[in-house]
Amino acid sequence: MKVDTTPIQDLVVITPIVFEDERGYFMESYNENKLKDLGVDIDFVQDNQSFSKRGTLRGLHYQNPPFAQTKLIRVLEGEIIDVAVDLRKDSPTFGQSFSVKLTSENKKQLLVPQGFAHGFSVISETALVMYKCDQFYDKASEGGIRFDDQELNIDWGMDLKDAIVSDKDQILPDFKNCNSKF
């Protein structure tokens, strides 16, 4: 496994080593010991999976402490633009976003630490996304930010007027008014 840093501290892209031959491929998508050796020491407790069609935009979501979640996101089928926004008020990159294309082909994963909002847009016909979490879901702790917040100005890789967004995500507050406790 290879861990690449991003311009935002603690937010990293993980690329597994893939062994390919005429039969297909094999890879370790997660190996606790190898990640610890690379400085990533997270105890994951829950796996989530979603299936979405082209144009779907999910996010931006987070959970406040004490149920804040670290997420390790990967794509099993399709392509997404994966986005994380730094909500840590004491961070030099507070309010900055980072995006990366995660695909079933490139097999990259994004590790989104606690203190970030997360979301993704589907840019292929469909996408099957799986992610690990280090805390269980807690409805009372959830929060979010509008996907089209003007201050964040995130490039989701699609025309936002065509985005398929849940009713819940359409009424999230903007960045300045979110209820983040980080």
Q: Model-level pTM greater than 0.75?
A: yes
Distance from C-alpha of 142 to C-alpha of 140, rounded to nearest angstrom: 6
pLDDT tens readout for residues 152-171:
999 999 999 999 999 999 99
Q: Would you name the residues annotated as active-site residues?
A: 61, 131
Domains of the chain, CATH where assigned: 2-177 (2.60.120.10)
pLDDT tens readout for residues 78-111:
999 999 999 999 999 999 999 999 999 999 999 9
Name the band, by pLDDT with cuts 50, 70 and 90, for residue 39. confident
